[in-house]
Each structure stands twice: as structure tokens, then as C-alpha cells.
Chain A
Amino acid sequence: MFKNEEMEINLGPQHPSTHGVLRVKLRLDGETITHCKPVIGYLHRGVEKICENQTFFQGQVWTDRMDYCSAVANNLGWAEANEKLFGITVPRRAQYIRTLLNEFNRLASHLIWLATHALDIGAMTVFLYAFREREDILDMNEAFCGSRLTTTAFRIGGLREDMPPGFEKMARKFLAKFPTCLEEYENLLSENRIWKKRTVGVAMLSAEDAIALGVTGPVLRAAGVPYDIRKAFPYAAYAEMDFEVPTQTAADTYARYLVRMAEMRQSARIIQQCLDGMPEGPVMAKIPKILKPEVNEVYHATEAPKGELGYYLVGEKGSTNPYRFHVRAPGFINLQSLPKMAEGGLIADIVAAIGTLDIVLGEIDR
């Protein structure tokens, strides 16, 4: 009369904590997850194919719409991949401003991660605190490129314009208050017993597994692998910056929290150096009106807030469009590790696992 049965349940695509339209097929034994399969593609717009039908100049607009929480990092990858393809050297001042904006963007992205991750675990107040600071960064985005989210911040060869007047003041004001804000978040979370109970030892991913699955970014660094492209293959002005790559060895959700919080401190440090050491000079290299590559292919990797963001571009002789464009999206590759993290855990843990991976579906589905 009575029998044991596993329950299949769909987490998403409409669900409060799947960060968009991720669908996870779960098989549950009571509340324990026995099988977990992420299903993606609900936000597929064919960005790669669209970019192949646009000129090199136009493509950047589409990169905004991939990881919309860190559009500047996407723009930077696109601009630098193109510069690599055409062999353009970017002026030093432009490099510094790019680095500056990219680090502000990393802060914004990590703040969104902190906000949503904490909200998923039930800490509602951190959400609004983090959004308060993100607002200032978006204001700076707006001051620099007229747009808050879809920035299209750079041009191939440099920047469209120099920093607007007052921008440096805004940035310095933000930097002055940001450490106290970070302390505010940490006061609410770091030593909070419930926060620790929900994160320590949850969604483990060992260094071997992380490397085998191609996971990058804070998730990898929280497993003890100090791999950061800003250090390993410096781009923009990162070679001239003095910063550390925070790592942890626990490889759990709490370690990833600590790594990201430490990264925010390092980002603030980089921004400070950019502001202090900002060189004078032009912000745009001399480039032709129409870019036509010789047959050539490039792969350019940058350290996006979520991990290694790689752009693979193939140029076609005589064409103004890329022949092939492919994105190595960090969220897409990192999401592979979700079953490994979630299986065997409880249903509440998968919410923590999704949060700690810091996924943006716009980037995963493209």
C-alpha cells in the first residue's frame, strides 16, 4: 500500500532564486537531491551569430547584453580581442581608464552577487545595502558613457571620450566610503552563525573537480588555485597594478564569499592606483574608418567578475564582419559544476549553490 518514490520537481524557469530563466530538473528523495540537471537556453538570442552579421565596430553593443551585470568587462574583452586581431596599440591613458571602469564594474557585479546570494539565503537587508552602493557605480557608468547597464563603454582602439569632468571626484568619494560599506556587509554576515551554518561546507567543489570542469573565477580561487588572468596573462593596465589574488582553501560557499569580499577590497585598491597614477595623453589610437582583417584568428581571455571570459574571433579576408565569433562564457562553463555541488545536498543547498556560482543567464544562453 505504501511505497517510496522519488519526486521530480522543476526549479525554474520561473522561480525566485534561479537568477533569471535557469531551469533545474531535480529528483528529490524527501528533501535530499539525488539528481540535478540544469536546463538552459530560455534566453538564447544568438548573440554570436548576430555579431557575425555586424561589423567589428557594431559587435560591442551585443556584448553588453550577454552578462548584463558586468557589461564593461564584456566590452573590454571585445575591444581587446579586436585590437589583438588588427594589431592596434591602445594609448596608455585609455588603458588606465579601461582598468578603472573594469574594476568598478567588478565591484558592481560582486555587489549584485552578494545582494542576491544573501537574499536567497534569507538575509534581506544585505540586498538593499549592496544595491545602495551599486547605485553609485551605475551613476558613474552613466556619467562616463551615458548608460547605466548596457554601457558600450569602449571603442576599438581606445575610448570614445576622455573621463567627464567631475568623474574623478565621484570615484574618489566612492572609494572613501566603500571600505566602511564592506564592513557593514561583513558585520551582518561574516560571523553570523546562521549565515555560516548555511554556507560552510555547502556546495563543495574541490580544486581537481573545478579544474576538470573548466571552472574559473572566484569559485576556482576559493578551492585554492590562484588563477587570475589579470596576473597570469596581464591585459589593459593590470601589469602596472599592485594587487593580490585572494584565495581560500575550503572550497565551499563560505570560502567563495570570503574570496569575493577580499576581491572587492583588491578592486578598490586597483581603482585607487588608477586614479593616482593616471597618465596624461590621448585616449584613442589612430585607426582606419573601416577595419578589414587579413585571415586571422585570435583568442583573448580576460578576467570577468565571474571567471575567464574568452572571445574567439576569426576574421575573413576582405570582409568587415567577423567570420566566426565565439564566447567562452564563464557562467556557462561554471554552471557545469552545479550537479557536482548540489547532488546529495538538500533543496535549500541548491539555492546556495546557484547563488555562489554567480550566474547570469544572459551570458549562459547568449
Chain B
Amino acid sequence: MPTPTLLQSIAITLIQCVLVVLFVFVVVPLTVFAERKVLGHIQQRLGSTRVASGHIGITGWMNRGMWKWGRIPVLSYWRGIPGLLADVLKLILKEDIIPAKADKFVFFIAPALSMVSAVVVFAAISFVPGTFFVFPAWFPGLGGLPVSGGIADINVGLLWILGVASVGVYGIVLAGWASNSKYPLLGGLRSAAQMVSYEVPLAISLLAPVVLTGSLNFGEMAQRMATGTSAWGLVPQVFGFLIYLTCGFAETNRLPFDMPEAENELVAGFHTEYSGMKFGFFYLAEYINMTVVSALAAGFFLGGSWLLPFGLQGLVNQLLPADAWIAGPHAIFFVAKIIFLLFTYIWVRGTIPRYRYDQVMSVAWKYLIPLALVNLLLAAFVRCAV
């Protein structure tokens, strides 16, 4: 394979960025849609079935179209999908209100902080081990060059991920502060305390895979957890996985830990004063964060793109010829694991109530941190034994 020049590698990185952002912006709206549908089924209703209640104009036109779809039995279920488009359109077209007494610059920068820190984490996540695909020879400028499965192969990937992800809390705190309003302030304060607290057990629970694999690189960790001798570590790490998932729920402000935006107490929490696309950024950031947390869980605890269930790994390797596009199944299984975890988010939301703020804090400090430490110790023992 030819070595890419500087210009070519920049072009390849840009293409990777576009692909990852594309992935994010496909997964996020679909998660929103899935949330509506899954919650609907949990609650014995249909979920979203139409764009809007309009009969005229663009929504009316779309509605009529979709109801025609509905005559085909399989498609009738998916009539709500254009609603996602309508939602995004609505957020973009809505008037962007900034409260008169707000700190305008901070008010402006807060949603961007949330959003950017959420998306940037994906840089260190490798979707596929090694090469994702190779440009065909006829491709202008990049012919025959490989594209790897992750944007940046950072050797301290986990550290970097945790660092970048924790910038997100600034977005929420600053939003609460800059709104100059009481409910957002309370929401911002809550989230500051909550997210800082939960970062501790989250990090400790992620240390266990680090101990087991002896690496901080996302791809390497996933591979070693799944395939090497440390694969034995996966079994006791069920415990660590649950701790991680609990902390992940808290970090992304989802039920049962949605303190910062507890709608029944704080109206909408830190984003009460936000409207239009600024609110949209917070909304997107929440779902992207969910995807990030799921991707990390899939990578560190569920074997990432490596562990294909039920011995399918060997089967795939046997069936496909050596030069086949082997990355495909890897990517599919990685995404499937992410989707399963996203489903868990929705499932939990449909099932259990919300903790009280002080209880949320006591769960973190009194239970999760000691449990995570015990888990780390356990991982260390397993490491010594294997």
C-alpha cells in the first residue's frame, strides 16, 4: 500500500470526520424516534405516527403522503419518521430568544460547549479494528489508500475521552448561570454537583479494564478485552459494567438521574430559558452523550467491535476470503451493541421514577465509589491470576 502524503492524510481524516459526524447525526435522530416508539410500546400506545396535525402547507402535504404510506401495512408503522425532519426544521426556524438580563456571550457559548465536547469524543473511538475500507484505484487523488476505523489512534485514548467529555459539564453550568433565572440556576447547580460526583466512580469503573488490558487505547483495549487472555476479565467485569452504566446514566442526565432538568421540579432545568437551535444543541448533546456512553460501554465491557456472539467470530473469519471486506461485520456488531445500550436507556426511562437530588449524591458517594474501588481491586486480582 502506498504511504499517503500529508495532503492525502488530511483529506482522509476529513473524510473520516464526515463519516463519524454522519454516523452521529443518523444515530441521534433515530434514537429520538426509537425513544418515542419504544416508550410508546412500553406504555401501550403507538408512539409517533404523524408529522404534525396540519392539513395544509408543508406538514399537511407530508402528512397526506405518509398516510398513503400507511396503506402498506409494514410502512404504516414508520409514518412518524418524517416527524424527525419536522422537529429539526422547527428548531432551526424558531425564534432564538435571549433573555434581556442574560450574560449574552456565555449564554451563546454554553450550548456550543456541550455539543462540541459530546461530538469530539468520537475522535478516539475506533469503530473497526485496523482498516475500515480501501479507496478503489480509480478514486481521484486517494486511489488505493486505506481508511482506518477510527479518526485518531490516541495511545492515551481513555484519558483523552474522559477529559474531553468532562468539558460538557461547563456547558450545563454556564447555561444555568448565564440565563440569570432561578430555575436554570438551580438546575445548573444540581448538575455541577451531580456530574462532578459521578465522574469519580465512572473513571474508577473504567480503570478496571485498563488494569486488565494494560492499555489506554480504545481499539487495543477492546481487542484485548475480547480476544486476549484478559478476555477472562470480561466475566467479573459484569459488575464493573453495571457500575459504569449507572454512572453513565447520571452523566448524561437521563432518568433516574435527570436532576438538572427534572421537569416536574425545575420546569426544564438548565435550559429553561433556551429556545430554537440553542436548545436544539443541548438536546442533541444529550443524545450524542448517550451514544458516547454506549459506545464506551460497548468498547470496554462488551468487547467492542471484536466479540461476535455465539462463536460467530470464527465463522465469519472462515467464510470470508482473506481479502474480503472483513471490517463490515465488525462495524455492524459494534453498532448493534451501541443500539442495544441505547435501548436500555429508553427501557429504564419507561420503567422507574426519579431519585431525589440528595439521594442521587448519596448513591454516588456512599455506594458507587466504594463499589467501583472494590471492582478495581477485583480486576487487579484477576490480572495477577491470569
B350 pairs with A125, CB closer than 8 A: yes
Neighbouring B residues of A132 by C-beta, 8 Å? 44
A351 CB contact (under 8 Å) in B43, B44, B264, B358: B264
Q: Is B352 an interface residue (CB 8 A)?
A: yes
Q: Known A129-B43, A346-B358, A348-B262; judge A31-B353 contact (CB<8 A).
A: no
B353 and A122 form a contact (CB under 8 A): yes
Q: Does A118 contact B (CB under 8 A)?
A: yes
Interface residues of A in 118-143 (CB under 8 A from B): 118-125, 127-129, 132
- CB neighbours (8 Å) of A15 from chain B are 267
* Contact stretch, chosen from A155-163, A190-198, A285-293, A297-305: A190-198
State whether the Cβ of A17 lies closer than 8 Å to any Cβ in chain B.
Answer: yes
Is the beta-carbon distance between A124 and B355 smaller than 8 angstroms? no
> Nearest residue in B to A122 (C-beta to C-beta)?
B354
Docked complex Cα distance between A347 and B267 (Å): 12
- Collect the chain A residues with CB atoms within 8 Å of residue B357's CB: 31, 346-348
Asked whether, in the complex, the Cβ of A198 is within 8 Å of the Cβ of B354, the reply is: yes
Give A349 to B265 CA distance when docked, in angstroms: 9
Nearest A residue to B351, CB-CB: A125
Mask of B45-76 contacts with A, CB within 8 angstroms, 1/0: 10000000000000000000000000000000
B residues less than 8 Å from A128 (CB atoms): 43-45
The answer to whether B354 and A121 touch across the interface, beta carbons within 8 angstroms, is yes
What distance in Å separates the Cβ of A131 from its nearest Cβ neighbour in chain B?
9
Across the interface, which residues of B come within 8 angstroms of A349, CB to CB? 356
User: How near does chain A come to B44, taking the closest CB pair, in angstroms?
Assistant: 6
**CB of A116 to closest CB in B, whole Å:** 9
CB-based nearest B residue for A17: B264
Mostly, the B contact residues are helix
Interface presence of A50 (CB below 8 A): no
CB B163 to nearest CB in A, in angstroms, measures 30
Q: A9-B182, A128-B43, A128-B45 are in contact. Are A119 and B264 (CB under 8 A)?
A: yes
A188-B351, A197-B355, A346-B357 given; A16·B43 CB < 8 A: no
Give the CA-CA distance A28 to B213 in the complex, in Å: 49
Total count of chain A residues near the partner, CB < 8 A: 30
Given A7-B182, A346-B358, A348-B265, verify A118-B45 contact (CB < 8 Å).
no
Select one of A7, A125, A192, A347 contacting B265, CB under 8 A: A347
Q: Which of A7, A9, A16, A121 contacts B353 (CB 8 A)?
A: A121
In the complex, what's the smallest C-beta–C-beta distance from B96 to chain A, in angstroms? Answer: 22
Instruction: Return the chain A residue nearest B356 by Cβ.
Output: A348
**Cβ of A347 and Cβ of B186 under 8 Å apart?**
yes
A27 to B245, CA, bound (A): 36
Q: Which of A194, A346, A348 contacts B352 (CB 8 A)?
A: A194
Kindly state the interface size class of chain B when it binds its partner: 20 to 34
Please give, as numbers and ranges, the residues of chain A lying within 8 Å of B111 by CB-CB distance: none
Distance of B369 from chain A, by nearest CB (Å): 19
Among A7, A120, A125, A192, point to the contact of B264 (Cβ < 8 A): A120
Q: How far is it, in angstroms, between the C-alpha of A132 and the C-alpha of B43 when the chains are bound?
A: 9
What's the nearest-Cβ distance from chain A to residue B311, in Å? 37
Closest to A355 in B: B264
Contacts A125-B42, A125-B43, A128-B43; A351 near B353 (Cβ below 8 A): no
Partner of B355, one of A7, A127, A188, A198: A198
- A127: chain B residues within 8 A (beta carbon): 43
Cα–Cα distance between A189 and B350 once the two chains are bound (Å):
12
Nearest residue in A to B39 (C-beta to C-beta)? Answer: A124
A128 nearest in chain B by CB position: B43
> CB-defined interface of B345-382 with A at 8 Å, one 1/0 digit per residue?
00001111111111100000000000000000000000
- Whether B186 lies near A123 (C-beta < 8 A) is no
Contact across chains for A124 and B350 when beta carbons are under 8 A apart: yes
Residue of B with least CB distance to A349: B356
Most chain A beta-carbon neighbours within 10 Å: one of B44, B183, B262: B262
A359 vs chain B, min Cβ distance (A): 15
A192/B267 in contact, CB under 8 A: no
Distance of A257 Cα from B355 Cα, bound (Å): 18
B255 at the interface (CB under 8 A from A): yes
Asked whether A194 and B182 contact (CB < 8 A) given A124-B349, A128-B44, the answer is no
Report the minimal beta-carbon distance from A71 to chain B, rounded to whole angstroms: 26
How far does the alpha carbon of A15 sit from the alpha carbon of B263 in the complex, in Å? 9
Contacts of B183 in A (CB 8 A): 9
A32 to chain B, nearest CB (A): 9
In whole angstroms, how far apart are the Cα atoms of A349 and B256 in the complex? Answer: 16
Near B by CB (< 8 A), chain A positions 195-214 give 195, 197-198
The 21 listed contacts between A and B (C-beta, < 8 Å) are A9-B183, A15-B267, A16-B263, A17-B265, A120-B264, A121-B264, A121-B353, A122-B262, A122-B354, A124-B39, A132-B44, A194-B353, A197-B356, A198-B354, A198-B359, A346-B356, A346-B357, A347-B266, A347-B357, A348-B356, A351-B265
Q: Which 10 A-B pairs have the closest CB atoms?
A: A122-B354, A128-B43, A123-B353, A122-B353, A17-B264, A348-B356, A121-B353, A120-B264, A194-B353, A9-B182
Residues of chain A whose beta carbon lies under 8 Å from any beta carbon of chain B:
7, 9, 15-17, 31, 118-125, 127-129, 132, 188-189, 192, 194-195, 197-198, 346-349, 351
